[in-house]
Amino acid sequence: MSSILPPSSRVWWNQPLDRVEGTWIALALIWCLAMFFMMPYWHIFGKQNLSNEAYRVTAEAYSKKTQEMVDKFTVRTETDQQIPVVRPPAGSDVYLIARLWQWWPILELEKGQAYRLHLSSMDYMHSFSLQPENLNIQVVPGYEGVYSVTPTRAGKYSVVCNEFCGIGHHAMVSNLYVVEKGQGGTGDESADDQGEDKDERGEK
């Protein structure tokens, strides 16, 4: 019998199951269940499948919150586009905008501190991919995803867009800095000034 021809008996679905067929169905079912329980397992023990919250948000409201953070905590600008590098206080809410074709602003976080990372898109679907950690988060317009993150390793990370979002998709790249406590800030030229700023704010 082939699928081109009609089945030889019209009522074909109540024929007894072949043993091989039954075995494969059982195997597939067992594997499905294994994968189903691996999802919570990975969440708890594999540190994958992030815990997140998500809220409805408009692009205007989200960009306003981001702008407020940028106005308060920008320490320098980077790249030809003068993208602000923002150093929000340890433990605070940090906002990142995804839009055609840019991540905005650049975040500078402190190692060992917990942050609430907010992600939203101003236009279409993007995806936040943090490399080389290989942390991947879908960024959806109209929703604000909130992720609890604690950077564990200092360094300069790459942020790339992982969702094809048009002609400039390949250019939608950025950085994220994780610095040791008391480091980072305004950059090399004015590192001394930064030290004084920090003293004034009572940081070590």
Question: By CB under 6 A, is residue 126 in contact with ligand CUA?
Answer: yes
Question: By CB under 6 A, is residue 119 in contact with ligand CUA?
Answer: no
Q: Using CB under 6 A, which of the segments 35-43, 54-62, 73-81, 162-170 binds ligand CUA?
A: 162-170
SS3 call for 84: strand
Residue 93, both tokens: 């809410």
Q: In terms of CB distance, is 87 or 118 closer to ligand CUA? A: 118
Among 105, 163, 174, 185, binds ligand CUA (CB under 6 A): 163
Q: In terms of CB distance, is 145 or 184 closer to ligand CUA? A: 145
* Amino acid of residue 131: Q
Sequence-distant (6+) residues with CB within 8 A of 144 are 54, 55, 56, 57, 62, 118, 119, 120
**Rounded distance, CA 145 to CA 38, Å?**
24
**Rounded distance, CA 101 to CA 124, Å?**
10
Question: By CB under 6 A, is residue 41 in contact with ligand CUA?
Answer: no
**Rounded distance, CA 87 to CA 94, Å?**
9
Among 172, 178, 184, 194, binds ligand CUA (CB under 6 A): 172
Q: Are strands 102-104 and 106-110 parallel, antiparallel or unpaired?
A: unpaired
Among 31, 37, 42, 164, binds ligand CUA (CB under 6 A): 164
Among 117, 119, 122, 161, binds ligand CUA (CB under 6 A): 161
Q: In terms of CB distance, is 116 or 169 closer to ligand CUA? A: 169
Catalog residues that contact ligand CUA under the rule CB under 6 A. Answer: 101, 126, 161, 163-165, 169, 172
